[in-house]
Structure 1
């Protein structure tokens, strides 16, 4: 039956919104302002300006003044596709090295440092010529590299770039490399734009590849982490077979082990000179700034760059896939199936059709995969959609088996949905619903600077032909597509057997070869010193930005709907609403509660089936969710205000009148048991469980779950009874939307079931953290290259007076790339790709602070990593400059933070749990400047130094024998059954 026709479309009202006005014209226009000419596209929701400087540098700007911050990307149109075939991974290396400074910063004395850097470059060239079979000669040469690097490090300043960004108040300093792009990422306060652009211009002027061998070791760690990631192995296997000729499949971004062992600084410099030129780069910004002023600053700072011809990588024309091509991938994680079809390039008609087909198959609510596989619980989970790249793309289908289901059965079910699409056996009105829901998503995302900037950045990477009109008109173009065209395109790309299928199977991967640890001596980081350039940049203060505090007494209006308290914040910006029913109890009060809420999505009523509800919500461009954490539960509905009554009525009808479905429960139990079994194969889940075991003991929040027997004995009536009774328990109503408060309360009073008196709130189980009285080691075995190491210690009970010193300590000690932990363990000693440490602040006033440390290390560096962290825990290095920077960073974060919309509601609730009824940020902001470094030292020495700890280690017992850990404390090998409780 065609349910959309049955129920009647509510879509047309969406198109009446002026923000979503369909069928507009998107055309390039030209304009001038502030002495600069730019292009723009009519009806662009981002109102972006596209400039091209005289040297070819693209500047793409979009203004958004919701908060005093600016999201910035500096993309370069190059990635692993352009890596030389004998130096794969080079683009990624280079990305890391662009954080090392230039001849003006990152160095204490460039004239003295340069000869050593030149010598290191030459030594690597000699090293590359030694055959890998000659281990003695290679070891000797690497020792020479290590020695000279140690001398050179006396003149270098590690992480000076990161510290400089922190001094500006930047957040999320990072970068990434993929097949076609290298992108440098920052999020800065709006008052720092002038200085920021000067720093970026300097960054790209004459980068120096200092501290290379320790950074290389970090890349080794990154490679080893990838070898432990079955998802990456699946993806690389898929691409290598979908693209047997192109670099999309033949060159991985991180590079081969052989090439990682033989880097060439000469080749890296040549690559930089070839691709890092202005006509191959852009500056993309979204945020609170003046457009005319910004382009002047960019032109002033980047005009020194000189354009050069750039020859793009030309993808060969791949021959059609003749298959199926079947590949197996082995590893310790759960089994799955991934099927890939080659499709056309991004920002094309092919890409638009692939996007549309992806939504018809899998939109999260009403697609063929959603209804026929996920909602019907035919598989554990499934998904479908395109992965678009510049010259080609991959359309992926993926699925995981239920308990007792074979991978072949999953494959058949996935392909059956494709066949339905090819035969036109889908609801053709779904196209309109897809367009409407996606336009609604665009409307929601207009406030988000990262989302706005990300769209513009990807367009720059994917197109040299100014394709922005196509990008922003895609949804309008989709709305014109007929079902006949969809069917024809589906039959074109999903031709019989023209796919690659990757079976992820459980088992030992015989092909994994880790990157071995070279002998590296710790280098000097000069952590407390700075270059003249940085001193100049930081000598003058930034223009002030005044913080804005939330007065919760006025920001939140309170009312009643019958006996339920209402917390109300008006939405004065658009016609979207968010409605929440918030309960102060969760799974600690009822272990069945999360399962009952999960069961709700598979239920219907006498009037509508579960599939009907999914389609109806999708038709209204609305959605609902129901979830429980340990001590709270939230039921929510959101969407367009004009569909508010319909959406809320639908949810209330489902919650109050849902009927038990034995077959759905049987499938849910099957999937739940499979999910529980899969969790025992997931290193992240194992680590999380082991941390809980160490923190709370054998009975802990992580294994507070249903037993197999409790699941087996569970009936549909039990779960439905829990759902039907939910409105009877005390809850608060949270609303952010455009309705006036009296209108909202009156409407909801007629829609929402509330009892005259509340049922007694179920009592919650209490878990107490274990105090560490001696060092203990908790070990769990997992087949992997890496070793995951955590430190845990219970501290004092929550106290608002300690929040400021805790935040200061965290920022100074282990908060980011400029922190003591990162500087020492990664930068100076090259012991980890990822490391950090912090004092965790509890969510409730009755709970305690805890210390958590982490190092992800190669197994053969395991002991060195533990000793390095222990040294920092026992003796805090002193760095007055870093401490001052920590204070500045914390204050700048508060100055530019704006708590708005639903954030007001949920921040209020979070503060309430901590016993706070005001904006705590104000007192923190005013107190940070009163502290001295000695206060942080005293806190560290009192709370952490020379204290017993729980060491939590997940590693392969083939690489780290548990008995070898006795030096750190009493060792307990914890079984998966003890960790998970089943």
Structure 2
């Protein structure tokens, strides 16, 4: 019986998912919706897979609701909602609140002052008062409580239309968690404001290093010149960020954070009636008023093509965007179908005519759907010698084909099938269910309309697609040319002078104690059994099959794991990538791509340095046919010399382009070099000369030999292991005798025992810093509990040692972390790793701050108890399910253990003390990180000052990669 104070708005079945018979969502296919008298809505989706609940508290306001003269408010408020209230996060609110009011007043004076000297003086006063006020704060108390309750994924995000607050909560702690959340939203206090402002600055400066962000902002400004989608960005302008206003942030909160403008989503192991009563006791009683209405206004028509050019260090690309109406428009279904006909990553016009035909380096069509306006974004990167204008012409030519109806009649039905399959995949997890529901708020659609989208897509006809193509696609587009060059227009946010604030690390408020004291029933952990939980069969005596039954729907995953990787055969990855362009004797490669899409089949061959894989997934009703198709592709592929030469050019061009990307340089180049030296996974790649010398015969031989090495098969699906083994045994084309598994050439971890600083130059605003040190000598199963407790204590979230010190106290970074890196196998050592991303002008301070934590471990008993509770709750509420069982088995076998390692951790965790953690720290962490790797613009950092950490060497890209720009 529902409480009389809340009325059920509706209980909706997610219809539209049953029109196609192989799809069945979950045992209870209902989303329960409740509306409270204050206007708050609660959505509940039941999923009993794990005793956890994904909570999303969402506000129907985002960056589009920012005042035009104070952009970035929604995002900054999102950050501040982690700081607490007058009951949470402070030891003395009566003394603290007047100081915070004074800081707010000073920031208003700061905003109104233009004289640099006066602004500096005001900021010094802000810094001084903030330091005093910080002594009364209990930093990250919200995050510590979340950690203690066993929450995971504590986070939030701001979009143009929505701000959402996330936590993945053990189901037995939901009552305590919502006592925490209602307090969080009751009356937030903007404490520790100026140090959090630095974190926002870091986030903004990080975006300035992203050419994509520049191109995106330019595209939106041209598409939506009179709408906030185009006139302001979520992070805000640099000028507005330099002049923050606590007053305006409070006003934004008071206007939009009203229950009538909010929704709560709970998906997971939760009873809908109990959830309704819980929210009624907490958020349901909050006072409410209507939020300001948003007037989206009107947009001027685009009567002729608009061209914009942006310049940055990354590789070139072109984007073409056509404006669509908002999500509620009746033409949206046909427009979304048009996008999928253009590109569905398998058999769309762009996929076949441009990507498969290798007429461009890459190309795609995507739909960006928002509440007020949507758009279709076509993008492409050029081949060697190809201009961006030529790429644009090729992309536009595919739109002309749609206008003429020059696409296969079956494609619409196949796209609908693909979308239904994706929806089922999305709903396989409780997190996926929650984020699906959030879409209704994001798009400002009534839920009963929102869930009809698949039926609406299924109703789209070819004539509908042709009509919208001719209606919405003409000369009314925006082109953004992203060209390679030096950016000269970057206005970064300069570091203000901030004094590190003292933190009350080991203080707990009475409110926090009351939350932790709330009664709850313990969850009993469930450990997986390596023998019991896996069904075994044999395709033949030397090809084992491992299987787990899918009892939820009619989808399958099939993986062939082959003992042969790029360490043994440097050409193997190239061969597997070449396979997608090859025909067989009976089908062209275009026909093969279309047949896979018709079957709802995903087919992905790939390899790592150790192993090779073929991963298939799809519908059980097409399993047999899909398997036959995969086997024929591997066994019957024929050479395509024209495709090979084009493929060689594309690979070489793609690698040259990647050398302009900071993440490629850092993660594919510098870090493997630091860890393994010149013999690593990146330097093992083929040189340009080796690529030029490759023949089709070499590659075809490798492909056809693929199944000649020892391999096993993993299956997750609705059939039994015996049934699947019988099907595979009839279709699998492995030779009668398998060759022995090749020995694995060793890649050793570098000693990492001498101080050195390795720097790679890249044109960027921030600096990316990693520290490495050799830790324990080899993999050890006996340290599992201690290592996990230390990791949770030291850097297990926003309320732990590393984050608190480097971000909350010293304002040195937006992103930072430190962890003990597990070895690749049982013969290799552990590596201690530290990371901080910071402004170039704060580099030395940031390194010093991180090194201090890697030299001396602060002792905070309450934080250790939070960490202990977090580890226990995480294990107790976790369940290894579905194909996770198979991959956990493979990992267990690789590291040589025969039982679920979590069992030992759970039983040992309560016996460990701070003394144990300190001893582990001294043995595995203290002063270990001697090697520092930095990616930065060397003209913006103090190279001489880096010498205090060890010999400094500037590393060239040619040392990191076996190819050049």
Query: Shorter-chain-normalised TM-score: which range?
Result: over 0.9
Rate the CA distance shift 1:878–1:740 in 2: closer, same or farther, 3 A.
Answer: same
* Alignment equivalent of 1:883, drawn from 864, 868, 873: 864
The residue number in structure 1 matching 2:815 is 834
User: Does residue 1:542 correspond to 2:525, yes or no?
Assistant: no
Output the CA distance in 2 between the equivalents of 1:698 and 1:580: 32
Select between 442-451 and 898-907 the one with higher mean Cα deviation.
Answer: 442-451
Output the CA distance in 2 between the equivalents of 1:870 and 1:541: 41
Deviation per CA, 1:632-687: give whole Å up to 9, x if none. 11112221112111000000000000011111111211111111111211111111
Output the CA distance in 2 between the equivalents of 1:445 and 1:122: 47
Rate the CA distance shift 1:814–1:154 in 2: closer, same or farther, 3 A.
Answer: same
Displacement after TM superposition at 1:559 (Å): 2.0
- Structure 2 residue runs without a partner (length 5+): 18-28
- Structure 1 residue runs without a partner (length 5+): 1-29
Output the CA distance in 1 between the equivalents of 2:788 and 2:962: 35
Give me the CA root mean square deviation. Answer: 1.5
Displacement after TM superposition at 1:31 (Å): 9.7
Deviation per CA, 1:817-847: give whole Å up to 9, x if none. 1121110000000000000000011242122
Output the CA distance in 2 between the equivalents of 1:451 and 1:558: 30
User: Does residue 1:489 correspond to 2:468, yes or no?
Assistant: yes
Displacement after TM superposition at 1:348 (Å): 3.0
* Kept in 1: contact 2:42–2:265 (CA 8 A): yes
* Alignment equivalent of 2:232, drawn from 231, 248, 251: 251
Listed as ranges, the matches of 1:647-726 within 5 Å are 647-688=626-667, 689-726=669-706
* Kept in 1: contact 2:6–2:34 (CA 8 A): no
User: Does residue 1:747 correspond to 2:741, yes or no?
Assistant: no
The residue number in structure 2 matching 1:7 is none
User: Does residue 1:69 correspond to 2:48, yes or no?
Assistant: no
* Kept in 1: contact 2:784–2:901 (CA 8 A): no
User: Does residue 1:39 correspond to 2:18, yes or no?
Assistant: no
Listed as ranges, the matches of 1:375-774 within 5 Å are 375-463=356-444, 466=446, 468-495=447-474, 497-540=475-518, 542-562=520-540, 563-688=542-667, 689-774=669-754
Displacement after TM superposition at 1:610 (Å): 1.0
Output the CA distance in 1 between the equivalents of 2:209 and 2:759: 18
* Kept in 1: contact 2:335–2:465 (CA 8 A): no
* Kept in 2: contact 1:576–1:639 (CA 8 A): yes
Deviation per CA, 1:13-50: give whole Å up to 9, x if none. xxxxxxxxxxxxxxxxx999997433123454641112
Displacement after TM superposition at 1:943 (Å): 2.5
Deviation per CA, 1:322-372: give whole Å up to 9, x if none. 331111111111111011111110133232222111110111111011111
| SS of structure 2 residue aligned to 1:732 | strand
* Kept in 1: contact 2:560–2:614 (CA 8 A): yes
Rate the CA distance shift 1:893–1:43 in 2: closer, same or farther, 3 A.
Answer: closer
The residue number in structure 1 matching 2:330 is 349
| SS of structure 1 residue aligned to 2:736 | coil
The residue number in structure 1 matching 2:339 is 358
The residue number in structure 1 matching 2:23 is none
Deviation per CA, 1:460-492: give whole Å up to 9, x if none. 23226x2x2332222222222221111010111
Deviation per CA, 1:756-776: give whole Å up to 9, x if none. 321132333211111123210
User: Does residue 1:234 correspond to 2:215, yes or no?
Assistant: yes
| SS of structure 2 residue aligned to 1:836 | strand
The residue number in structure 2 matching 1:53 is 36
Displacement after TM superposition at 1:313 (Å): 2.0
Displacement after TM superposition at 1:428 (Å): 2.0
Output the CA distance in 1 between the equivalents of 2:499 and 2:212: 34
* Kept in 2: contact 1:158–1:827 (CA 8 A): yes
The residue number in structure 2 matching 1:845 is 826
* Kept in 2: contact 1:356–1:478 (CA 8 A): yes
Rate the CA distance shift 1:843–1:893 in 2: closer, same or farther, 3 A.
Answer: farther
Deviation per CA, 1:763-820: give whole Å up to 9, x if none. 3321111112321001000001101010011222111112222222211112321121
| SS of structure 2 residue aligned to 1:553 | coil
| SS of structure 1 residue aligned to 2:532 | helix
Output the CA distance in 1 between the equivalents of 2:198 and 2:430: 34
Dislocated runs of 4+, deviation >3 Å: 30-36, 42-46, 961-964
* Kept in 1: contact 2:774–2:929 (CA 8 A): no
* Kept in 1: contact 2:261–2:290 (CA 8 A): no
User: Does residue 1:873 correspond to 2:857, yes or no?
Assistant: no
* Kept in 1: contact 2:6–2:35 (CA 8 A): no
Output the CA distance in 2 between the equivalents of 1:624 and 1:478: 25
The residue number in structure 2 matching 1:20 is none
* Alignment equivalent of 2:153, drawn from 159, 172, 186: 172
* Kept in 1: contact 2:44–2:272 (CA 8 A): yes
Q: What is the count of residue pairs matched by the alignment?
A: 948
The residue number in structure 2 matching 1:370 is 351
* Alignment equivalent of 1:972, drawn from 945, 953, 959: 953
